[in-house]
């Protein structure tokens, strides 16, 4: 099969012919129809996240059809359309897994980082960690939901967003444009913050009440906020807009640092909470909700061989919504 592989951090991905993988015990093989391109993929390729293995096939927003079953697999039927997300595996027995926090499992594996991902024509995944997908959702629409959507949903929950709240979204890309639709479905007022005029326009088209830059004061204090940009400078901007007692969720697996700031921004019981990965329960709840709303994913589509260009556009903010690779 063809696959885009990373051999060295900072180097471009290389299109190669590699053996089609064979599923082991508990695994299924998925014939990839689409794979979303996430900023986390960019962090892996550029070396912001240390390579866990090399070479590696990135990609953790996989949509495809089960075409082979490993030994002892009975839960996934051949021909079933499924999705694969960032959390590739968790041990199920540690204290975090037992508490429903498998996203914090110290033995967790991650698709496209510690295990080969979906920038390929086929991929493997544990049968217990794949998601059945709603029949009315296209492959292109489903791919961004499997990380950008799930992690945005978890971020809103950790920020404590409630119906009727004023919610601020800082950095308007793949994840935020999906989170906005969830927040609006919950009856929240949404204010979007972005440097890019096109991203602000998209936010308004999707139902934001107001859109501006991070330096601008919103029309009302925020009851909850989420930052999506990998820039620590956004954190004091968000805190400045947050009402006392509210929570800011920082949705970033890599951040360039947290700047020094006046304690007054944090005082009055404002809170900052990091968002780390997501659980299968998050994924199940969000995909059910996405079909109910229904969520509309804005996508820019690239052939598999153009994965490097897709990553470049994610980095520069040129992507309109989410980038998706199609083998």
- For residue 185, the model assigns a pLDDT of 98
- For residue 272, the model assigns a pLDDT of 98
- For residue 36, the model assigns a pLDDT of 98
The domain locations on the chain are: 2-146+278-326, 149-274
- For residue 135, the model assigns a pLDDT of 85
**CA angle 143–149–151, rounded 5-degree value:** 125
Q: Which CATH number fits domain 149-274: 3.90.1710.10, 3.40.50.720, 3.30.360.10, 3.30.70.20?
A: 3.40.50.720
For 193-243, what is each residue's pLDDT tens digit?
999 999 999 999 999 999 999 999 999 999 999 999 999 999 999 999 999
- For residue 136, the model assigns a pLDDT of 87
Residue 283 near residue 307 (C-beta atoms within 8 A): no
**Number of CB atoms found within 10 A of residue 49's CB:** 17
- For residue 320, the model assigns a pLDDT of 86
- For residue 76, the model assigns a pLDDT of 72
Binned average pLDDT, 10 residues per bin, the chain of 327 residues: 97 98 97 97 96 96 97 87 98 98 98 98 97 92 97 98 97 95 98 96 97 96 96 97 98 94 96 97 97 95 98 94 96
Residue 310 near residue 37 (C-beta atoms within 8 A): yes
CA–CA distance from 214 to each of 205, 210, 231 (Å)?
19, 12, 12
- Name the CATH superfamily for 2-146+278-326: Medium-chain alcohol dehydrogenases, catalytic domain (3.90.180.10)
- For residue 281, the model assigns a pLDDT of 98
- For residue 312, the model assigns a pLDDT of 97
Q: How far apart are CA 28 and CA 78, in angstroms?
A: 9
- For residue 75, the model assigns a pLDDT of 75
């Amino acid at each position: 099969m063809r696959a885009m592989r990373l051999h060295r951090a900072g180097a471009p991905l290389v299109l190669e012919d590699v053996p089609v993988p064979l599923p082991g015990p508990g695994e299924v093989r998925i014939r990839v129809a689409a794979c979303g391109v996430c900023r986390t993929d960019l962090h892996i390729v550029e070396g912001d996240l240390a390579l866990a293995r090399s070479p590696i096939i990135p990609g953790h927003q996989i949509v495809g059809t089960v075409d082979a079953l490993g030994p002892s697999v009975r839960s996934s039927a051949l021909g079933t359309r499924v999705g694969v997300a960032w959390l590739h595996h968790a041990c199920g027995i540690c204290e975090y897994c037992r508490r429903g926090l498998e996203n914090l499992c110290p033995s967790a594996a991650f698709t496209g980082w510690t295990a080969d991902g979906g920038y390929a024509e086929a991929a493997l995944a544990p049968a217990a960690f794949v998601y059945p997908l709603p029949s009315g959702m296209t492959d292109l629409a489903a791919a961004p939901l499997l990380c950008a959507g799930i992690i945005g949903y978890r971020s809103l929950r950790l920020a404590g967003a409630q119906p009727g709240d004023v919610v601020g979204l800082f950095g308007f890309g793949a994840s935020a444009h999906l989170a906005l639709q969830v927040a609006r479905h919950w009856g929240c007022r949404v204010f979007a913050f972005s440097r890019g005029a096109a991203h602000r326009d998209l936010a308004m088209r999707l139902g934001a009440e107001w859109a501006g830059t991070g330096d601008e004061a919103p029309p009302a204090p925020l009851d909850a906020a989420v930052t999506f940009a990998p820039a620590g400078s956004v954190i004091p901007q968000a805190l400045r807009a947050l009402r006392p007692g509210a929570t800011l969720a920082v949705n970033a697996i890599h951040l360039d640092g947290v700047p020094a700031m006046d304690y007054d921004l944090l005082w009055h019981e404002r809170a900052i909470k990091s968002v780390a990965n997501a659980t299968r329960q998050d994924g199940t709840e969000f995909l059910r909700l996405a079909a109910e709303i229904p969520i509309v994913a804005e996508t820019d589509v690239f052939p598999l061989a153009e994965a490097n260009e897709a990553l470049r556009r994610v980095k520069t903010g040129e992507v309109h919504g989410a980038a998706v690779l199609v083998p």
